[in-house]
Amino acid sequence: MAATFGALLKQARGVRGMSAVDAARASSISPAYLSKLENDAVKRPSPHVLHQLSEALTVPYTELMRLNGYRVTGESKADGDTIGAALFADLTDDERDELLEYLAWYRARKRTSRATKSS
């Protein structure tokens, strides 16, 4: 998964097939502000902005809050990667099958690479 909040936003946009301008409009923020968010130039976006991004990119609001250092009370963190689950919740069967094939290929390639290095 993404290493920073900004990287997560870029990844979420990519998964949703949204341009920066489209995502900014859907979030009711300026493209310049979205660029700052994606480049981690904003230390702590407001909960309001996080909610707008959550709605526009279909990612869990509570996770965006946690990623930005806000305390979220009354909810326990679900097992697994809830942001990843939300990003890929609407996969078609064909897309899921393609991703699984790619993952198997990728893991096999990594195993082969490690075996070659240790020889």
For 24-62, the pLDDT digits (tens) are: 999 999 999 999 999 999 999 999 999 999 999 999 999
Which residue range(s) make up the domain with 69? 5-88
Same domain, 55 and 83: yes
Same domain, 81 and 100: no
Same domain, 18 and 45: yes
The Cα-based distances of 93 to 36, 41, 81, 84, 90 in angstroms read 35, 38, 20, 17, 9
CATH of the domain at 80: 1.10.260.40
User: Which pLDDT belongs to residue 117?
Assistant: 76
Same domain, 16 and 72: yes
CA–CA gap between residue 31 and residue 25 (Å, rounded)? 8
Distance between the two ends of the chain, CA-based, in angstroms? 30
Same domain, 14 and 60: yes
For 85-98, the pLDDT digits (tens) are: 777 778 788 887 88
Closest CA to 56 of 31, 78, 81, 76: 31
Same domain, 80 and 68: yes
Same domain, 119 and 65: no
pTM (global) more than 0.75: no
CA–CA gap between residue 109 and residue 26 (Å, rounded)? 39
Same domain, 95 and 84: no
Same domain, 47 and 104: no
Same domain, 38 and 79: yes
Same domain, 63 and 84: yes
